Each structure stands twice: as C-alpha cells, then as structure tokens.
Structure 1
Amino acid sequence: MSENTDKKGDFQPLIKGDRLNLMVLFDVLRKGKLVILYSTLLTALLALFLALVIPDRYEARAVILPNAESENSLDKLGGLASLAGVNLNSMIGQTSGISPEIYSTIIGSSPFLKELLNTPVSFEDEPSKMSLFEKARKDTVPGFGDKIIMYTVRLPWTIMDALKSDDRDPSALTNDTNLVVLDKRVELLYEKVRAMISVDYDPETGLVDIAVEGKEALQTSEIALRTTELLQRYIIAFETKQVRQNLDFIEAQYLNKKEEFEKNRAELNAYKDANRNVVGERVDVGYQLLADNYDLTRNLYMSLAEQKEQALVAVKKQTPAFSMIEPVRVPLEPVWPKKSFFMILGLIFGFLAGVIGVVGRAILISIQKNWAA
C-alpha cells in the first residue's frame, strides 16, 4: 500500500485547501518512525563525537570583596592621632580609592600582563613549571618535520611570510625608556591572555568576580591565583603611592638627622668629659655652642621621628584590605564542551530533522499527485 492512501487505495492529500489533514499526518509519522529514530540517533552520535573532539575548557575563579570598612575602622587612629596633635589628613591628602570598575583595565595593562606571563605555571606536556613566555617561545621553534613542510608544501607561503616580516628590533624604534614597545608575537600573546581573564563587578554587593578560562585545569587555577594576588598588590601600590613617597622622604631625612644628632651628642659628651674640672669663660662658651647645636639637632630629630610615626599610620590608614569570599579552586569538570548539552541538542535536532524529512517527503508526494491529477 502506498503512502497517503486510504483503505480503497485512493490518494489522501496531507494538505487539503488551507487545512492540515491530521489523520494523514499521524499516518505519515507512524510509517516514518524508523527514519525519525535513525535520524535522531545519528545526529546524537555526531553531536557526542563533536563534544569529544572539541578541546576541553576549564574555568577557575575567585571572588573578592574590597573592604571599604577598613578605612572607617582606621578612622579611629585618626581620632587618637588628633588628640596628640597629629593631622593624618595632611599626610594622606584627599585621595579616593580606586573603583573596582577599572580592575579589568588594570589586569589588561601591559605591566600587569608582563608580570603574569613571566609567572611559572604547570603544563601537562612539560616536566617542570615554566612561564607562558617560555612556553610560547619554545613552541615557536620549528622541529625537523615542520621545516620540511615549511620548505616543500608551504614554500610559497614561507616566501610570502619572509617578504612581509619585519626583523627590526622594536626597542630600536625609540630611545624613550618610558614607552612600552612590543613585537607582534608578544602583542598576540598579550591579547590571548586578555581574552582568558574576565572581571565582573557587582555594584550592589561590592563583590569582584575574577574568572580565568584555559585548556588545563591546574594551569588555569594557577593563573587565576596569580592574577588575584597581582591585582591586590597593584591596587595597594596605586592607593598608597602618595603616602609611601612621603614616608620614604621622611625616613631619609630622619636617618640623616639621626646621624647628625648622635654625632653632636657624642661631641657634647666628649667635651663635658674633657672639661669636667676646668672652670673658665672659654670653656663656658664652647660648651654653650655645642649644647645649642645639640638641642637644635635633637629637636629636629624628635620632630622627624614624630612625622615618621605619622607617615606610618597614614600608610596603614590608606592601605586597602581585601576579603577573600571564594578562593581559587582547581576545576574538576570542564565548562565547555558540555557533553550532556551536546547530546540533548543532538537528540532535538535529529528528531526535528527526521520529522521535517518525513513530512517534507509526504508534502512533495502530495504536490506531485495534485499536479498529476
């Protein structure tokens, strides 16, 4: 019995006028169930094969909270210092903290990426840790087989690459040491690492989510940990730059005055010991000069010691604190590809493809029969 026919063998169209004949549709699907089943299974197997072929991608993340309350708690130090006549605001100025919204910009900066790329990490195909720079340099060195292919099959492309390449040293383009000059290979490596790292900031909760995606689980977690540590170090350095410069200046002056104070004290004591039993106007004048010089350096020395303590408190006050809400963990399962997702997607597409194929064939037969009639 042919398709789309009733018990008498008359043709029953799937579409009659502008209506769909559901009885014929169910009959078509029933007769084409094997085609639908095979299509579903085949597509699901292809999807599973694709999921197994695609390289795994792992994700490691850390969630930190820039502790804004730390500054408020350290305001108590400012209150105690004011009682002693110390103005901490003059030491730290009116600087405001760095917004977490620019953390991603800091991570994407060249100095940050340079430090990150020079951090030793694990590689599955290497016996010991090495930096991403060293690994990239090692992988760019062609082997014997690669050289054979380069100068035989890929000879035209090798010649074109040689003509286009620029072997000049990028550092020779400028004598300004404040400029960052990168070659193309390093710039590509920078872009690759930038694409691996993402930073999300939630203004409502204040949480900063740092995520790193990579091909190896352990290596990805090591990069995420190093990124988190470097970010905290950079933020602390940025926010305490002014007060640390002030502290360094005061410490340098303090050490100079300390040396001068100890020298004048030693001279005064030596003079007193040498003229202990001597009475005279000349002795009194010499003693007074040394004593005045000693008092002057002592006052300066004590003042600088006080300023040094103020500067240390200012550095402590200005140093931001970070709370680790979610530490970095080594991922156990890849985030991509999801084999279950591929299987479900393959089953759905395979089923739909089978149904569309069976119904489409029935529609074509209906059109041919109508034209023939």
Structure 2
Amino acid sequence: MDGVLLNRSLAHHLERITARLGLPARWGRLTLIAVTGGVPGALLGIAIALVAPKHYEATALIAIDAPTQFGALGDLAGLAAQFGVPTASGTSPFYFAALGSNTDVLDRVLNMSIAVGDSTLHLIDLYRPGLRSQPELRLQKAMRDISRDISVSTDIKSGLVTVTVTQTDPVLAVAVTDSLVNAMDIVGRQRLHSRARAEREYTEVGLDSARRKLSDIEDALERFYETNRNIEGSPRLKLAESRILRELDLRRSLVVTLLQNLENARLEEIRSTPLLTVVQHALVPGKPSWPKKSVLAILGFGVGALLWLAVSHGREFGSTPT
C-alpha cells in the first residue's frame, strides 16, 4: 500500500513539473516508468560490478634514447613524424611499440620467471596450464591470450611509449609490465645490433671489391707506361692515358668514400643500440580498472528503463480494445 501511495505521489509531482515546463503530461508518466525500471537496473549493475572478476591495469612509460638517423632518410623520417606519420625505423619509438606484439618478445615474457609474493611462476603456466604434450600449440594459444592483455602505444609529440598490462591480480600486472619492458629492450637491442653489423659487413665487402678494381687500374696504367715510353707525339696514346687516369681518379674517390662509410658503420655498430629508459615505472594499482560501478550502474539504468518502457507499452497495446 505504501508503495502504491509513493508511486502516485511521485507521478503527481512529475506531472506538475512537466506542466510547469510546458511539456506534454505523457512525458511525466513515461519518466516515472523509466525511473521505475531504471533504478532496479542500476542496482543490478552495481551488484554485478561487486561480484564480477576484477581487472587491474599497470602502466609504464618508456623513452628511447636513440642516436640521430643519418643521411636524408633520417631527415625524411623526422619530418614525417612531425606531421603525425608513424615511421618504424630501427631507432624510432614506433619500432619499440611494435615489439609489444612481437612473437619473440611474447615468448620471452611467457617463459620468464616472475616473482609474485613469495612464489615464482611462468606466465605460460597461468595462461595455458594444459596442452603440455603440445608445446608449440600451447605457446601459440598463450601468445594469443596474453596479447589481448597488452596495449602498447606511442605519443608522436613526446616520443614516449606507453606500455599497459591488464591482469586479475594487481601485483602480477606490475610484474608482467616490468617483464614486457625488459623483453622489448633485449629483443630490440639484438635486432638493431644485427642490423648495424650487417651494414658494416656489407660496406667491408664493397670496399674490398673497390680496392681490387683500383689495383687493377693501377696495374693497367703501369703496363701502359712500360709499353709506351714516349706518348707526347701520339694523340691516340694521350687519349688512352687520359681515360685510364680518369678511371683511376674515380676508383680512388670510391675507395675513399667507402673507407669513410666503413668507419661510420663501425661507430654505428657500437652506438646504434638505443637506450630504453623507463620514465615511469609501473605502480601497483589501488583499484580495478574494470568493472566500473558507475559505468555498469548507468548501463543497467538505461537497459532497465528501456525494458520497462517496452513492457509498459506492450501492456497498453494489449489492453487497447480492437
């Protein structure tokens, strides 16, 4: 009885408010119906948020202290980055951001020993406790699962890389974030070092070839002078000499250029490994990132209001005489 009276009183007040606002009287009744269904829906949403599994996010910020890209390619990449075009060169933040989903990185993270409390565990045992008889399939499925819990993004203006990991335990979220950053650093260094070594080896091969060709031209010039003691009175011999000397100058310039490139390549091999600096370490989250009570309450209110309005409309339609 009290509920009916309260309902009528609330309906009366809503009708007065809608009348003052100049709105149709039907709006007040619809509002009452929406509130009647929305409030239980909101309470149900809050209840779901309280009992649902909690998910915690741990976030780390890293900066890439990389050497300046050399040549026109580096200038072009820098210009493109200023206009918001991602460039995944080996020393760019985008390169390291892409490593967040790299299979080598995920393999390292899944098989790292992670200390959580007084115990240590391997993430692969947490994600895929079964399938031990099929290690390849087990690793593949674990990579797919953990990649859903990892988010790596890059801020174009600051160049900072944001690494976010979601786990059901806040301490585990921090441990996985630290392991992921460490794995990204290791794999990134290895790949960049291999690239720099390949560039140096390629330059060495080109320099050896240029030196052999230079030696051949010098030998040809020596044979020419031994065969032709006096070339001053022969235009044909003077022309042949000029051709050999021109080729000799070109070969010498090429050798000098390759020598400079080799020295640069050796220096790059030493210093081209960028230093991954953790600007902000992951902190143990104090509250879960999901589920959010406010979001579920609003969602529950909306769903409850829509359902109650639909039920009310169905009752009116069913009670209308044909």
State the TM-score, normalized to the length of structure 2. 0.56
Q: Does the CA contact (< 8 Å) of 2:155 and 2:161 recur in 1?
A: yes
CA drift at 1:42? 2.0
Matched, 1:118 2:115: no
The residue number in structure 1 matching 2:278 is: 324
Matched, 1:140 2:93: no
Residues 183 and 237 from structure 1, CA distance in 2 versus in 1: closer, same or farther, beyond 3 angstroms?
A: closer
Alignment of 1:283-302 (within 5 A): none
The residue number in structure 2 matching 1:218 is: 171
Residues 190 and 99 from structure 1, CA distance in 2 versus in 1: closer, same or farther, beyond 3 angstroms?
A: same
Q: Does the CA contact (< 8 Å) of 1:62 and 1:327 recur in 2?
A: yes
Q: Does the CA contact (< 8 Å) of 2:109 and 2:179 recur in 1?
A: yes
The aligned length equals 221
The residue number in structure 2 matching 1:22 is: 24
The residue number in structure 1 matching 2:120 is: 129
Amino acid at match of 1:337: P
CA drift at 1:59? 1.2
Amino acid at match of 2:275: A
Counterparts of 1:206 and 1:55 in 2: how far apart (Å)? Answer: 35
Counterparts of 2:99 and 2:142 in 1: how far apart (Å)? Answer: 17
Counterparts of 1:337 and 1:196 in 2: how far apart (Å)? Answer: 15
Amino acid at match of 1:120: S
Matched, 1:208 2:126: no
The residue number in structure 2 matching 1:63 is: 61
Q: Does the CA contact (< 8 Å) of 1:59 and 1:213 recur in 2?
A: yes
Q: Secondary structure at the match of 1:59?
A: strand
Alignment match of 1:49 (pick from 42, 47, 56): 47
CA drift at 1:341? 1.0
Query: What stretches of structure 2 of length at least 5 have no aligned partner?
Result: 1-22, 71-88, 202-262
Q: Does the CA contact (< 8 Å) of 2:104 and 2:187 recur in 1?
A: no
Amino acid at match of 2:46: L
Residue range with higher mean Cα deviation, 189-198 or 348-357: 348-357
Counterparts of 2:151 and 2:194 in 1: how far apart (Å)? Answer: 26
Alignment match of 1:333 (pick from 271, 287, 296): 287
Quote the sequence identity (%).
Answer: 24
Q: Does the CA contact (< 8 Å) of 2:64 and 2:92 recur in 1?
A: no
Counterparts of 1:26 and 1:130 in 2: how far apart (Å)? Answer: 59
CA drift at 1:106? 3.0
Residues 197 and 348 from structure 1, CA distance in 2 versus in 1: closer, same or farther, beyond 3 angstroms?
A: same
Residues 105 and 313 from structure 1, CA distance in 2 versus in 1: closer, same or farther, beyond 3 angstroms?
A: closer
Counterparts of 1:210 and 1:112 in 2: how far apart (Å)? Answer: 13
CA drift at 1:313? 5.5
Q: Does the CA contact (< 8 Å) of 2:62 and 2:276 recur in 1?
A: yes
CA drift at 1:355? 3.8
The residue number in structure 2 matching 1:190 is: 143
CA-based RMSD of the aligned residues comes to 3.7
> Which protein has greater RCO, CA pairs closer than 8 Å, 6+ apart?
1
CA drift at 1:224? 0.7
Counterparts of 1:136 and 1:360 in 2: how far apart (Å)? Answer: 47
Q: Does the CA contact (< 8 Å) of 2:196 and 2:265 recur in 1?
A: yes
Q: Secondary structure at the match of 2:62?
A: strand
Query: What stretches of structure 1 of length at least 5 have no aligned partner?
Result: 1-20, 75-95, 142-166, 171-181, 248-308
Q: Does the CA contact (< 8 Å) of 1:43 and 1:350 recur in 2?
A: yes
Counterparts of 1:28 and 1:65 in 2: how far apart (Å)? Answer: 58
Q: Does the CA contact (< 8 Å) of 1:71 and 1:318 recur in 2?
A: no
